[in-house]
Amino acid sequence: MDVSKDRIQAFGRACQLVVDDTAARGDELLELCRAELARLEAKFSAYQPESITSRLNQAAGTGAFVPLDAEAQSLFTYIDALWSESKHMFDPTTRILRNCYGPDGQLRASREQLHGMVSLVGLRNLEINESGAHLSRKGMLIDLNSCVRPYAVDSLKKLLVRNGAKHALIEMDHDIATIGKQPGGANWLVGVRLPQGSRAAITRFKLNDHGFAMRGDFEQATAVKGERFGRALSPVDGQPIPGLLSVLVTAENCLTACSAASIARMKTESAGLSWLDSIGLPWLAVDRSLHCHGPLAQPKR
């Protein structure tokens, strides 16, 4: 297979790029991708001190607005749609609540401290007008990385298509998009670890000219009073949501797949499964008993 490959870090995650090099343009296409990723990371990443995200956090409660261009306004419109569709459970201002939990997912803050942190959560406190965006309460934090990553993946796919790429894979952690099939005609395959009895096994899915997103990780579940919970935290009380541990979705693009997986994960188990059944996309979910559900969980005949 005649391809050019690269692995870089972006938005705190490893990013793999694979593009067709049959026309000897692979290195040129990779350079275009690297430049676009660098642009988006500098603009939006929570890890970049001059990004829109960092400036929003620094200005929280000061009354100062951070200017937004059309691209940034579009991203915030998308986030607001997720917030509304999830009945306000998907909320990127829950970033501050992670400080209350240890690496093992166990609460390390006192109940009083957690309650104080919850008072700083709420996307309704994000003001957007002609001057830009502003977080109205001092101490609030917003993290857009989980939304920008799938946007970046789709942006790279569009960039490659505009520049004539017929075969490509863009993978950033659990956000993936492909163009066509592999240059030799083989399918693009995505490997995912899923529970199989008392163990975990790798399952592979075909992903040709589509987007893929997975939210949550059943292997990072935490136990609270004998029950499994994922790492998604409720913006209402700061507690782990009793929802699906992992949700993966495929769609025409990565951002649509991410939207579905993100919303489903913020619901209770039964509500999440019912909602996924209603959206008409291929999906798979792992519940709190480590059972797999969904069309993608059905064995191929």
Residues 213 and 50: their CA atoms lie apart, in Å, by 28
Stretch 102-115: mean pLDDT, rounded?
93
Query: Which residue spans of the chain are classified as CATH 3.10.520.10?
Result: 187-301
* Structure confidence at residue 52 (pLDDT): 97
Cα 155 versus chain centre, distance:
15
Q: Which residues pair with 175 in a beta bridge?
A: 172, 213
> Is residue 124 predicted with pLDDT exceeding 50?
yes
Which tokens sit at 272? 């999440």
Look at residue 2 and tell me whether its pLDDT is greater than 90.
no
- Average pLDDT of the residues in 42-61: 96
Is pLDDT above 80 for 225?
yes
The pLDDT, as a whole number, for residue 299 is 57
Burial 232-268 (b: 16+ CB within 10 A, else e): bbbbeebebbbbbbbbbbbbebbbbbbbbbbbbbbbe
The CATH superfamily assigned to 52-143 is ApbE-like superfamily (1.10.3980.10)
- In the chain, CATH 1.10.3980.10 sits at 52-143
Residue pLDDT, tens place only, 249-295: 999 999 999 999 999 999 999 999 999 999 999 999 999 999 999 99
Q: What percent of the chain has pLDDT over 90?
A: 90
Residue 23 pLDDT level (bands cut at 50, 70, 90):
confident
| Tens digit of each residue's pLDDT (9 = 90 or more) over 135-170 | 999 999 999 999 999 999 999 999 999 999 999 999
In CATH, 187-301 is 3.10.520.10? yes
Check: CB of residue 187 under 8 Å from CB of residue 219. no
Strands, E, within 218-290: which ranges? 222-224, 227-229, 246-251, 283-286
The pTM for the full model equals 0.94
